[in-house]
Structure 1
Amino acid sequence: MGQDFPPLLNDNLLKVATGKKPSRIPIWIMRQAGRYLPEFREMRKTHDFFEILNTPELASEITLQPIRRYDLDAAIIFSDILVIPTALDMDVKMEPGVGPVIKFPFTDPQDAIAKLTPPINFQDKMKGTLEAITLTRNKLEGKVPLLGFAGAPWTLLSYMIEGGGSRTQMKAKSWLYKYPEESTTILSLLANHIKLYLAAQVAAGAQMVQLFESHAEILGPELFTKFSFPFLKSIVEGLPESLKELGLPPVPVVVFAKGAHYALDQLNQIPCNVIGLDWTIKPELARQALPEKVLQGNLDPVALFGDRASIEANVNAMISKFGTQNYICNLGHGIYPETPTDGVQAFIEAVHSIPI
């Protein structure tokens, strides 16, 4: 059963996600906990990235930093989508100036299947993140809801084959063409792990979760239909039952498939509450294609480098197209490390100045 946590004082995000009217347009920012904040960079001088992830007190502190600084409507736990590869005992490092690097990526589909088949003991393998969620939920004292998240199957698999970031995902995509049946099996195994991990986050205290298909844009319509959409759908469809088995009610789910402007009709078929949108999608087209969904997004992250007047103008233009109802304001992708904090402040104030 769920734990006893402080009562929620600002429920605007959860109201919108469940079809209710908020008192103001809610806003949170992808990757709001971390790299653009000077207080985070100060902590990184003395602590390794994965040390922070695996130390509940440190991960909680970083999660709370933007909440102390800004009038946001949600916190998102400081973690990383590659915690599942680490739970599979893959050697993942965060290299300065490079990003995540997996020392021994998958080279053979059968080896990948063997690695992914055994169940993961999330309470053991994800102990740091799950404890950080519980600790943070209590430390928030109900100020805002706490979000959890996970990487989607295709995005995780692409990292686990490529061994890190890639502009083309050539190695990973080649598996989809060369080994379609094995790739389907691998993605299905990953989907089950992800579903159970999200359920464990909710049990720990997460009040809403987001599924990141960050590499959707590299697929295109046919590959997305075969190797992304079915697994996004299966995770979202299966999560309520996994939560029920833990004695927990469903929570709102966001699906963010970056670059999947070609697949809005399929995203509409996923039984999630919210669809996150990147900045390449016209709000009007998204409203037309996703009439029953709450929409989230989609300001270009680089817009925060403009002056206050520019930011306000861009925010007003964006929200005039989305409308103020069934809408959560966010960027169209994660905030960049170089983003000026004044730009973030101007963004939040511009959103909150717009009446419902």
Structure 2
Amino acid sequence: MSARRTVVDAPLVDAALGRTPSRMPVWFMRQAGRSLPEYRKVREGISMLDSCFRPELLAEITLQPVRRHDVDAAILFSDIVVPLKAAGVEVDIVAGRGPVMERPVRSTEDVQALPILDHDVPEVAEGIAGILAELSPQQALIGFAGAPFTLASYLIEGGPSKNHERTKALMHAQPHVWHALMNRLCSTIEAFLRTQIDAGVDAVQLFDSWAGFLTKRDYRTFVLPYSQRIFDEIAASGIPRIHFGVGTGELLGAMAEAGSEVMGVDWRVPLDQAAHRIYATSGPKVLQGNLDPALLHAGREVVREEIARICEEGRRAQAEGLARGHIFNLGHGVLPTTPPEAITEAVDLIHREGVFRSCVMP
């Protein structure tokens, strides 16, 4: 049974659905995290994965940046490997390295033995209920899951990889193993997203961290069908769907075919150029992005100028019929060394009436 609430005049939801928002919506990936002293305090002595399965802590961390920065959406505090952990996969997040698998998956037998999440995750659902109880009807909650390619890479490599050589080798040399693995992962990701949707999130983002290491040909053959499957599975919910990958400028057109309403753009591609690439394969979509996270260290004037430039690119794409809207974000996540006051100031600049007018069509 869905806990869907009614959002009223929520800028992010309005923009994502192609409507004119009351103000330029903004949220930042990794806004709930290491840049905030209050986050470090509540996480003392608690591992990352444990934090994701403690409902009260999950809710508190998710809400911290909304209270501090006045962003238009909370992003569910989670990690790409949380659905694997919930399914029963032995995985840990090692400080300074990232997710590490106890047993890599590299054969048909390994794939067949990989647990599939086939139930709700009650800790996450309870955490979402706590978040929604505090958010106003104008503030959206975005659900989150890692895309199947990124999860597959972690499983095959056994952890983070600079080159993804084992992943690419298995993909090409043992395609039957690859496709079997991707199908199992889709089932787990779909179950994890269903938990979030049934609990009442207002939008979801599918995050493909490592897709940028692929050629367009390989992406279309080995990855796109599975991202499409996930977006198709959750389409009936009616909530906006966001797709984002890092270093995926050359893949934007292909990624847009997966079916999301919103396409995230990293900082490497100007927003109006990204709109051309997306439009060529899928028609106009809402754009999300794309301030370079490092520039939040550069001072108010630099940030103000970059915000104005990005907004103008978004406005131009809309004026030319290449985009249906613009949600402001970074081109990836908030860096842990970012001063919290710089984030608050950036949000304020984005929300200012003069900046907002330059970001939307008359």
**Which amino acid is 2:222 matched to?**
F
Counterpart contact for 1:297–1:331, Cα < 8 Å: yes
Q: Is the 8 A contact 2:118 2:188 kept in 1?
A: no
Paired position in structure 2 for 1:109: 108
Amino acid at match of 1:183: W
TM-superposed deviation, 1:9: 4.8
Instruction: Tell me, yes or no, if the aligned pair for 1:31 and 1:334 is still in contact at 8 Å.
Output: yes
1:205 paired with 2:192, answer no
Q: Secondary structure at the match of 1:155?
A: helix
Which residue is 1:75 aligned to? 74
Q: Which residue of 254, 260, 285 maps to 2:242?
A: 254
Superposed CA offset, 1:226-258 (max 9, x none): 1211111111122234xxxxxxx4211001122
CA drift of 1:284 comes to 1.9
User: What letter matches 1:77 in structure 2?
Assistant: L
CA distance in 1, matches of 2:256, 2:8: 31
The number of equivalent residue pairs is 344
Deviations 1:106-125 (A, max 9, x none): 23233113325xx52332xx
Describe the SS at the equivalent of 2:356.
Answer: coil
What amino acid does structure 2 have at the position aligned with 1:24?
R
Question: In the alignment, what sits opposite 2:329?
Answer: 330
Partner residue, 1:279: 267
CA RMSD of aligned residues (A): 1.7
Secondary structure in structure 1 of the residue aligned to 2:32: coil
CA distance in 1, matches of 2:30, 2:182: 25
> 2: CA distance between counterparts of 1:289 and 1:102?
36
Counterpart among 178, 184, 188 of residue 179 in structure 2: 184
Among candidates 147, 150, 162, match of residue 145 of structure 2: 150
Q: Is residue 36–residue 335 contact of structure 1 (8 Å, CA) maintained in 2?
A: yes
Secondary structure of 1:323's counterpart equals helix
SS in 2 for 1:355: helix
Choose 73-82 or 101-110, whichever is displaced more. Answer: 101-110
Contact 1:77 1:148 in 2 (8 A): yes
The residue matched to 1:150 in structure 2 has which SS? strand
Amino acid at match of 2:304: E
Q: Distance in 2 between matches of 1:52 and 1:39?
A: 14
Letter in 1 for 2:287: L
Identify which of 310, 314, 327 aligns with 1:318: 310
Separation in 2, partners of 1:91, 1:24: 44
Matching residue of 1:42: 41
Give CA deviations for 1:153-175 in whole Å, capped at 9, x if unaligned.
Answer: 00001011122211111222221
| Partner residue, 1:346 | 345
Q: Which residue of 1 aligns with 2:127?
A: 132
Q: Distance in 1 between matches of 2:4 and 2:175?
A: 46
Query: What CA distance in whole angstroms lies between the structure 1 residues aligned with 2:4 and 2:106?
Result: 45
For 1:42 and 1:82, the matched residues in 2 are separated by 23
**Is the CA contact 1:10–1:145 (under 8 Å) kept in the aligned structure 2?**
no
Letter in 2 for 1:86: K
Cα shift at 1:181: 1.8
1:289 aligns with 2:289: no
Report the Cα offset of residue 193 of structure 1. Answer: 2.3
- Counterpart in the other structure of 2:297: 305
One-letter identity of the residue aligned with 1:100: P
Q: 2:118 aligns with which of 111, 114, 121?
A: 121
Are the counterparts in 1 of residues 186 and 229 from structure 2 also a CA contact under 8 Å? yes
Q: Once structures 1 and 2 are overlaid, which stretch shifts more, 152-161 or 168-177?
A: 168-177
Partner of 1:51 in structure 2?
50
Query: Counterpart in 2 of 1:267?
Result: 255
Given that 2:52 and 2:124 are in contact with CA atoms closer than 8 Å, whether structure 1 keeps it comes out as yes
8 Å contact kept, 2:266–2:289: yes
- AA partner of residue 131 (structure 1): E
Task: In structure 2, give the amino acid aligned to 1:66.
Answer: P
Task: Tell me which amino acid in the other structure corresponds to 1:207.
Answer: D
Cα distance, 1:87–1:268 mapped onto 2, change above 3 Å: same
Alignment pair present for 1:3 and 2:16: no
Aligned-partner residue type, residue 295 of structure 1: L
**Matched residue, 1:32:** 31
| Residues in 2 aligned to 1:263 and 1:98: alpha-carbon distance in whole angstroms | 27
Q: Distance in 2 between matches of 1:258 and 1:239?
A: 23
**1:151, 1:213 within 8 Å by CA — same for their partners in 2?**
yes
Using the TM superposition, name which of 137-146 and 80-89 deviates more: 137-146
- 2:205 alignment partner AA: Q
One-letter amino acid matched to 1:355? F
1:124-158 Cα offsets, whole Å, 9 max, x none, are xx222121112211122435111101000000010
User: CA contact under 8 A between 1:268 and 1:289: conserved in structure 2?
Assistant: no
More displaced 10-residue stretch of structure 1: 105-114 or 306-315: 105-114
Cα–Cα, structure 1 residues 337 and 122, in superposed 2: closer, same or farther, change >3 Å?
Answer: farther
Distance in 2 between residues matched to 1:10 and 1:199, nearest whole Å: 25
Q: Which of 133, 137, 161 is 2:156 aligned to?
A: 161
Q: 1:268 to 1:136 in 2, by over 3 A?
A: same
8 A contact 1:196–1:239 mirrored in 2 = no
